[in-house]
C-alpha cells in the first residue's frame, strides 16, 4: 500500500510526522518527485538535490520504499521560456502555454534533450540509494498532450509515415487521396489533421492517432533505456490510465516494454447512467490492466480515498466505499494499492482532491478507513502472485477505438466504448470474469469471446476469430464490427464485412436510431438458440438497427417496430464446431444479461459463485491458494456461501459469510483458522 508523496509542497518540519503516520497506516511505498522538476533543476544545468536527499533518507529510515519519478511530466517555466518550440499546439493552432502541467511536445528533440539531462542526473545520484525500489517515468503519458499539431510534430509525422509506407504512391492509395483532391506529391505537403473547413481525411486522422501514441512510446523508451543503462537492476514503469474515457495511447504496444504494469484509476460519474455502471467500469479497468500484465499481478499506482477535483460535481465516497473500491482492484489482480495523494493539498489546482490525510486531519472517516485498509492488506500477503482465471475474452483494440470514434459515420451516437462496457457489465452482473484481449492474442484458452464494436479489424485477426469458432469456440459479435480494414477502408460486399461468413448473415443497410428512440425486440418462440423463458418477455433496443439477411444463420429475435419490423435483431449461426451470435442493436441491460446468460450456458462458462444482484464476486488463485472476494454494492446485508477465513474481519467462515450493506470480504478458501494473523495456518 502506498501513495504519491510530495514533500516539496510541505514544510520540512512535518516530514518526520508524515513517516510516522505512514507507518501507522501501513504505507510501504511512496511515489516521490512526480512534479518536482522546477525544484530539482531551478535553472538549466544547475541541480539542487539536497531536499530530495533528505526526504529519501527519511523514507529509507522509516522502511518505506521509493518509487522515484523522473520528474519530467511537467517542465519548469524556464524551459519553455528559453525553448518555446517545445510547447504543444492544439488542432486549432493554439499554443498550450505553461501554467498547468504537461506543457511539452512529445516529438520535440529539444524537450527530450533537456529531460534526458535531468533523468541522467537523478539516476546517477540515486542509483545506490537504499530507498530506491522502482523508477516512475514521467506521469500519465498523453493525459494532456496526447496529440500535438505543431510544426515539430508535423515533421516527425512525415518521418513516421515514410517508415510506415515507404513511398508516396502507397500512402496516396491507403489514404484514398483521390477523394477531394488530396493527392500528395511531396512528403513536406503532409500535415497533421489540423482544423479544416470540413471533415479531415479519416485515414490521415487514424494514422495521426497511431503516430501520436508511438511518439509517446518512443519518448518513454528513451527514458527507460537511459535508466536501465545506469541502474540495470531497478525496475521501470510508467503509470497507464486504463479508465474507459482515456483513449490516447495503444497500451498493447506499451505493455511489453514495462518491467511492471501500473495504472491509475478514478471513479468517473460523468455520463454514467447508474452507480452500477460506475462500479462495473472499475471492474473493466482492472480486468484490462490485468490483461496488459499478461494475466499476472499489476500495480495500482493511483486512485482516490474520496472525491477528485476535476469532474463537474466531485462526489465523496460513502462510508465503506474506500475499502470496497480498493479491494475491487485487488480482486482483479492488483498486488499494490496506491493513492494520489498522501496529504490533501493546501494550495494549487488539486487542493480539493482527497488524500490519505485529509484537510481535517486524522480524526476523520477517511483516515480511519485508510488505517483499516492497511491492516487488511497486511493480513493478505498470501494473495501476492495469485491470478484471476477467466473463461471469457473480450476483443479490445485501440486503433479500432480511434477509428470508430471518427466523424462522418452513420451515427455519432455510436461510441467505441459503449458496447465493450455494456457487454462487460452484463457479464460482471452475472459474476463472470472477463479478460479484455488484443485481436492478435491467442484465443484458444477461452470458452467464449465477445466482440463489441470492433469496427476496424485486420485480415489476420478476422481469420483468427474464424479459426477459433470453427475449432469449437463460441462468439458474440455486436453491431458496427468488422466494417473496415486496417486502413479504414470499407470491406465491400455487405456488412459486417470481415465476419459475414462466420455469422451467416449479410447486412445491406444501417438504420441508426435517434437519441432516446427505442425499438421493441421479440425473442423467437422456438428454434435453435431459443428457450421458453424468452417468450414471456419483450426486450428493447436503442442506438442502432440494420437491414440484415440470413445466409445460414437463424433469427433468434426480431424487431417488432421501429424502422425494420420483422427483421432479425439477434442471430445464431453454427460455424464448424462452434457457434457465432450477432447482436444488431444495443439491448437494454436486462435483455443483454438474458442473452449473455444463455450464451454462457451454451459455451460452458460458469459464474464464480451464485450471489444476489448487486454483489460482485471474483476469485484469485494459484499454488494451492484460493481467495474469494465478495463486494456488496447493495444497501442491504447479504449472505454468500463460503468456507475459510475472512481476511477483512479476521474471522473464520463456515458455510456462509454475512456481509453488511456496502461491505466486503476476502475469503481464504478451504481454511478455517482462529486468532489474529488470518490465513497463515491450517
Torsion of CA 528, 533, 538, 544, to 10 degrees: -40
Strand order in the sheet with 448-451: 434-437, 392-395, 448-451, 474-478, 578-583, 568-575, 554-559, 518-523, 539-542, 586-587
Of 41, 223, 302, 369, catalytic: 302
Choose among 616, 430, 459: nearest CA to 450.
Answer: 430
Alpha carbon of 536 to those of 522, 524, 525, 530: distances in Å? 10, 10, 9, 12
Q: What is the band of 276 on the pLDDT scale with cuts at 50, 70, 90?
A: confident
Q: What are phi and psi of 64, to 5 degrees?
A: -110, 120
Q: What is the band of 271 on the pLDDT scale with cuts at 50, 70, 90?
A: confident
pLDDT, tens digit, 9 for 90 and up, residues 432-489: 999 999 999 999 999 999 999 999 999 999 999 999 999 999 999 999 999 999 999 9
Is residue 223 among the annotated active site residues?
no
Q: How far apart are CA 170 and CA 537, in angstroms?
A: 54
pTM of the model: 0.96
The reported pLDDT for the residue numbered 657 is 94
pLDDT, tens digit, 9 for 90 and up, residues 172-231: 999 999 999 999 999 999 999 999 999 999 999 999 999 999 999 999 999 999 999 999
Is residue 140 among the annotated active site residues?
yes
pLDDT surpasses 60 at 679: no
Give CA angle at 404 (162, 221), nearest 5°. 45
Q: How far apart are CA 462 and CA 481, in angstroms?
A: 11
pLDDT, tens digit, 9 for 90 and up, residues 99-135: 999 999 999 999 999 999 999 999 999 999 999 999 9
Q: How far apart are CA 260 and CA 266, in angstroms?
A: 20
SS3 336: strand
- How many percent of the chain have pLDDT more than 70? 97
**DSSP for 64-80?**
-EEEEE-S-SS--HHHH
The reported pLDDT for the residue numbered 536 is 61
Q: How far apart are CA 545 and CA 563, in angstroms?
A: 8
Domain boundaries, the chain: 2-89+101-147+212-383, 392-603, 615-669
Joined grid coordinates for residue 216: 509517446
2-89+101-147+212-383: CATH, from 2.40.30.260, 3.40.50.300, 3.30.420.480, 3.20.20.80: 3.20.20.80
Burial class (CB in 10 A: 0-12, 13-18, 19+), 333: buried
Q: What is the band of 678 on the pLDDT scale with cuts at 50, 70, 90?
A: very low
To which H or E segment does residue 212 belong?
Answer: helix 202-230
Choose among 348, 142, 320: nearest CA to 240.
Answer: 142
Across 517-540, average pLDDT: 78
pLDDT surpasses 80 at 546: yes
Q: What letters, b where the CB count within 10 A reaches 16 and e where it falls short, cover 477-506?
A: bbbbbbbbbbbbbebeeebbbbbbebbbbb
Cβ contact 134:67 at 8 Å: yes
| CATH of span 392-603 | 3.40.50.880
Choose among 480, 542, 546: nearest CA to 516.
Answer: 542
pLDDT surpasses 50 at 89: yes
Per 3-state DSSP, the chain is made up of helix, strand and coil in percentages (nearest 5) of 35, 20, 45
Q: How far apart are CA 277 and CA 359, in angstroms?
A: 30
The reported pLDDT for the residue numbered 275 is 87
Q: How far apart are CA 555 and CA 538, in angstroms?
A: 15
Give CA angle at 257 (252, 262), nearest 5°. 75
Q: How far apart are CA 542 and CA 450, in angstroms?
A: 19
Cell 470491406 appears where?
491
Q: How far apart are CA 229 and CA 221, in angstroms?
A: 12
Cβ contact 201:193 at 8 Å: yes
CATH fold, domain 615-669, is Immunoglobulin-like (2.60.40)
The reported pLDDT for the residue numbered 526 is 63
Q: What is the mean pLDDT of the chain?
A: 95
Q: How far apart are CA 609 and CA 425, in angstroms?
A: 16
Cβ contact 658:634 at 8 Å: no
| Greatest pairwise CA separation for the chain in angstroms | 78
**DSSP for 359-384?**
TT-SSSHHHHHHHHHHHHHHTTGGGT
Across 58-82, average pLDDT: 97
Listed in sequence order, the residues at least 6 apart from 46 whose beta carbon sits closer than 8 Å to its beta carbon are none
pLDDT surpasses 80 at 671: no
pLDDT surpasses 90 at 673: no
Burial class (CB in 10 A: 0-12, 13-18, 19+), 179: exposed
Choose among 428, 354, 432: nearest CA to 392.
Answer: 432
Listed in sequence order, the residues at least 6 apart from 51 whose beta carbon sits closer than 8 Å to its beta carbon are 7, 8, 12, 39
Q: Are strands 586-587 and 539-542 parallel, antiparallel or unpaired?
A: antiparallel
Choose among 447, 605, 454, 572: nearest CA to 505.
Answer: 572
Of 140, 281, 350, 546, catalytic: 140
Listed in sequence order, the residues at least 6 apart from 256 whose beta carbon sits closer than 8 Å to its beta carbon are none
Cβ contact 627:386 at 8 Å: yes
pLDDT surpasses 90 at 274: no
Cβ contact 459:446 at 8 Å: no
578, HSE (Cβ side, Cα atoms, 13 Å)? 22
Joined grid coordinates for residue 312: 463537474
Cβ contact 360:24 at 8 Å: no
Q: What is the band of 272 on the pLDDT scale with cuts at 50, 70, 90?
A: confident
* Secondary structure, 3-state, 655-682: EEEEECCCCEEEEEECCCCCCCCCCCCC
Alpha carbon of 26 to those of 251, 386, 626: distances in Å? 31, 21, 24
**What angle in degrees, to the nearest 10, is found between the helix axes of 365-378 and 15-25?**
60
Cβ contact 470:428 at 8 Å: no
Across 293-317, average pLDDT: 96
pLDDT surpasses 80 at 680: no
SS3 150: coil
Amino acid at each position: 500500500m502506498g501513495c504519491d508523496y510530495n514533500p516539496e509542497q510541505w514544510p520540512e518540519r512535518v516530514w518526520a510526522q508524515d513517516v510516522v503516520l505512514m507507518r501507522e497506516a501501513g504505507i510501504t511505498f511512496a511515489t516521490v518527485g512526480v512534479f518536482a522538476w522546477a525544484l530539482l533543476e531551478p535553472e538549466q544545468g544547475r541541480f539542487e538535490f539536497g531536499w530530495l536527499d533528505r526526504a529519501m533518507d527519511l523514507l529509507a529510515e522509516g522502511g518505506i520504499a521509493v518509487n522515484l519519478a523522473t520528474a519530467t511530466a511537467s517542465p519548469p517555466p524556464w524551459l519553455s521560456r528559453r525553448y518555446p518550440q517545445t510547447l504543444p499546439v492544439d488542432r486549432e493552432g493554439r499554443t498550450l502555454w505553461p501554467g498547468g502541467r504537461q506543457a511539452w511536445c512529445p516529438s520535440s528533440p529539444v524537450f527530450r534533450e533537456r529531460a534526458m539531462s535531468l533523468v541522467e542526473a537523478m539516476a546517477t545520484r540515486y542509483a545506490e540509494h537504499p530507498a530506491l525500489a522502482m523508477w516512475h517515468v514521467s506521469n500519465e503519458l498523453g493525459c494532456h498532450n496526447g496529440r500535438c499539431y505543431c510544426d515539430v510534430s508535423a515533421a516527425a509525422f512525415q518521418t513516421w509515415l515514410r517508415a510506415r509506407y515507404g513511398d508516396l504512391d502507397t500512402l496516396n492509395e491507403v489514404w484514398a487521396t483521390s477523394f477531394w483532391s488530396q493527392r500528395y506529391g511531396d512528403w513536406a505537403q503532409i500535415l497533421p489533421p489540423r482544423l479544416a473547413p470540413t471533415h479531415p481525411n479519416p485515414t490521415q486522422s487514424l494514422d495521426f492517432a497511431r503516430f501520436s501514441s508511438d511518439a509517446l512510446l518512443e519518448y518513454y523508451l528513451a527514458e527507460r533505456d537511459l535508466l536501465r543503462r545506469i541502474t540495470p537492476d531497478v525496475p521501470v514503469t510508467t503509470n497507464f490510465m486504463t479508465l474507459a474515457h482515456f483513449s490516447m495511447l495503444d497500451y498493447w504496444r506499451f505493455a511489453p516494454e514495462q518491467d511492471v504494469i501500473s495504472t491509475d484509476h478514478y471513479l468517473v460519474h460523468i455520463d454514467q447512467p447508474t452507480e452500477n455502471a460506475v462500479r462495473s467500469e472499475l471492474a473493466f479497468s482492472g480486468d484490462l490492466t490485468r490483461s496488459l500484465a499478461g494475466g499476472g499481478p499489476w500495480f495500482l499506482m493511483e486512485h482516490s480515498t474520496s472525491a477528485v477535483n476535476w469532474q463537474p460535481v466531485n462526489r465523496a465516497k460513502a462510508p465503506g466505499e474506500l475499502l470496497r473500491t480498493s479491494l475491487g482492484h485487488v480482486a482483479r489482480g492488483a498486488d499494490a494499492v496506491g493513492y494520489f495523494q498522501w496529504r490533501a493539498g493546501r494550495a494549487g489546482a488539486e487542493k480539493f482532491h482527497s488524500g490519505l490525510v485529509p484537510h481535517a486531519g486524522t480524526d476523520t472517516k477517511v483516515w480511519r478507513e485508510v488505517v483499516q485498509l492497511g491492516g487488511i492488506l497486511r493480513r493478505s500477503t498470501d494473495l501476492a502472485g495469485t491470478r484471476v482465471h477467466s473463461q471469457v475474452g473480450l476483443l479490445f483494440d485501440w486503433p479500432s477505438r480511434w477509428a470508430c470514434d471518427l466523424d462522418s459515420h452513420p451515427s455519432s451516437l455510436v461510441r467505441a466504448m459503449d458496447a465493450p462496457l455494456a457487454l462487460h457489465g452484463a457479464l460482471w452482473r452475472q459474476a463472470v470474469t472477463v479478460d479484455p484481449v488484443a485481436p492478435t492474442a491467442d484465443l484458444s484458452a477461452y470458452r467464449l469471446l465477445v466482440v463489441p464494436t470492433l469496427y476496424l479489424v485486420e485480415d489476420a485477426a478476422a481469420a483468427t476469430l474464424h479459426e477459433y469458432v470453427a475449432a469449437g469456440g463460441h462468439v458474440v459479435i455486436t453491431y458496427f464490427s468488422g466494417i473496415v480494414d486496417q486502413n479504414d477502408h470499407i470491406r465491400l460486399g455487405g456488412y459486417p464485412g470481415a465476419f459475414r461468413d462466420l455469422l451467416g448473415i449479410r447486412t445491406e443497410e444501417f438504420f441508426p436510431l435517434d437519441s432516446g428512440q427505442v425499438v421493441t425486440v421479440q425473442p423467437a418462440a422456438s428454434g435453435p438458440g431459443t428457450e421458453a423463458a424468452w417468450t414471456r418477455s419483450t426486450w428493447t433496443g436503442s442506438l442502432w438497427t440494420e437491414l440484415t439477411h440470413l445466409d445460414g444463420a437463424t433469427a433468434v429475435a426480431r424487431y417488432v417496430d421501429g424502422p425494420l419490423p420483422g427483421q432479425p435483431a439477434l442471430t445464431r449461426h453454427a460455424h464448424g464446431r462452434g457457434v457465432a451470435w450477432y447482436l444488431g442493436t444495443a439491448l437494454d441491460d436486462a435483455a443483454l444479461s438474458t442473452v449473455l446468460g444463455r450464451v454462457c450456458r451454451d459455451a460452458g462458462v460458469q459464474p464464480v459463485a451464485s450471489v444476489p444482484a448487486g454483489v460482485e464476486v471474483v476469485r484469485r488463485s494459484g499454488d494451492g491458494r484460493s481467495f474469494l472476494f465478495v463486494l456488496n454494492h447493495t444497501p442491504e446485508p447479504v449472505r454468500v456461501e463460503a468456507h475459510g477465513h475472512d481476511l477483512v474481519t479476521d474471522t473464520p467462515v463456515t458455510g456462509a459469510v454475512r456481509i453488511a450493506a456496502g461491505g466486503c470480504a476476502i475469503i481464504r478458501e478451504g481454511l478455517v483458522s482462529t486468532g489474529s494473523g488470518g490465513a497463515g495456518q491450517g
